[in-house]
Amino acid sequence: MVKLIVDNKEIETEDEVTVLQACLDNKIYIPNLCYLKEMDNPPGSCRLCFVEIKGYNQPITSCTVKVKEGMEVRTNTEHVRRLQRTAFEFLLSVHHVDCKNCPANKKCELQRIAKFLHFGLKLKKLEQLEREEGVEQDHPFMEYVSNRCVLCGKCVFVCQKKNGKAMLSFAKRGLDTVISFFGEEDKAKTTCKECYACVEICPVAALIRK
C-alpha cells in the first residue's frame, strides 16, 4: 500500500496504480474521458485529468503518473482548472450540443464534466465548429454519430480487449477523424450481437444500437 496526500487529505491506495485511479477510488473526482482502469498505457489524449504534483514544475495528466509514497497532489488549483476548461471547450466546440434529443442526456460524461467545472454547455472563447453530421450505417447492429463523438478511443480499446482484434478503429485525421467499422461486416454479424461493449462504454452516445 502507498500513502499519498491529495488536496491536503491523506489517502491510501495500492501500489502501481495511476494517480487518477487512486483519486477516483477514494471518491476524489478528476474529469477524464479517455481513461479506463484496464489500460496498461493510457493514451492521455483527452487532456482533462490534469493535476499538480509537488516536484513537477507544471501540471501533468494524472492518468500517466503512477503513485509514489508521500506524493503531494493537488487537483483543484487555478492552473489545473484553466487547462481543464480550455481542453473541455475545445471538445465542446466540435460537439453537436443537442442534449434534449440525445440518448445520452443526463448520463452524458460531457454534461457531468461541464457541471463539475462550472462551465455550462455554451462556448466562451471559441466558435462552434460543426462537423458534418455523418451517421455511419455500415454496421448491421450499430450506428455511429460522428458529430457527437469525442474520439476518446474507449470503444476501440474495449473491442480489442474483448474480441482480440478491434473491429473498429480511428480513420482519417484532424477534424475529420471518425471511428470506422471498415471491412469487418462479416465478423460483426456474429460477434457484435452478443457484445455491445463499445456502445456501453461510449460516454456520449456516439455509438448506439440500431
By beta-carbon proximity to another protein, the closer residue of 95 and 139 is 139
Picking from 157, 140, 150, the residue whose alpha carbon sits closest to that of residue 209 is 140
Shortest CB 176 distance to another protein, Å: 9
By beta-carbon proximity to another protein, the closer residue of 7 and 138 is 138
Answer whether 36's CB lies under 8 Å from 157's CB.
yes
Q: Which amino acid is at 99?
A: C
Shortest CB 153 distance to another protein, Å: 11
Distances (CA, A) of 204 to 11, 39, 142, 177: 31, 20, 15, 16
Compute the distance between CA of residue 112 and CA of residue 93 in angstroms, rounded to an integer: 17
Site for another protein, rule CB under 8 A: 165-173, 180-184
Shortest CB 201 distance to another protein, Å: 17
By beta-carbon proximity to another protein, the closer residue of 20 and 168 is 168
By beta-carbon proximity to another protein, the closer residue of 114 and 151 is 151
Shortest CB 198 distance to another protein, Å: 12
By beta-carbon proximity to another protein, the closer residue of 88 and 144 is 144
Q: Coil, strand, or helix at residue 183?
A: coil
Compute the distance between CA of residue 30 and CA of residue 69 in angstroms, rounded to an integer: 20
Shortest CB 180 distance to another protein, Å: 6
Answer whether 107's CB lies under 8 Å from 40's CB.
no
